[in-house]
């Protein structure tokens, strides 16, 4: 019984360790579409301005969209 348990434990370990490599990940050489300028979130300045306005009108969700500043709200 103990042997059987050890066998299934080893099987589960092998199976799970294989799982991680079988996940579908976008490889670096497959990122052509992701690198397209259309994929930029700030590609349309008007859309960005409207989005920021929508965030501003809901005060709690305003800010934190840029990388400048430390998120202290002092800028």
- By CB under 8 A, name the binding residues for other proteins: 7, 10-11, 14-15, 17-18, 20-22, 27-32, 35-36
Nearer to other proteins, 24 or 30 (CB): 30
Nearer to other proteins, 29 or 70 (CB): 29
- Most distant CA pair in the chain: distance in Å? 68
Closest Cα to residue 53, out of 65, 71, 41?
A: 65
Nearer to other proteins, 7 or 56 (CB): 7
**What is the closest distance, in whole angstroms, from the C-beta atom of residue 44 to other proteins in the complex?**
20
- Give the Å distances, CA to CA, from 2 to 7, 14, 16: 9, 18, 21
């Amino acid at each position: 019984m103990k042997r059987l348990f050890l066998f299934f434990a080893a099987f589960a370990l092998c199976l799970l360790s294989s799982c991680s490599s079988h996940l579908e990940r976008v490889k670096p050489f497959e990122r052509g579409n992701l690198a397209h300028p259309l994929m930029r979130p700030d590609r349309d300045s008007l859309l960005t301005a409207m989005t920021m306005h929508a965030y501003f009108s809901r005060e709690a969700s305003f800010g934190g969209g840029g990388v400048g500043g430390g998120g202290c709200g002092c800028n």
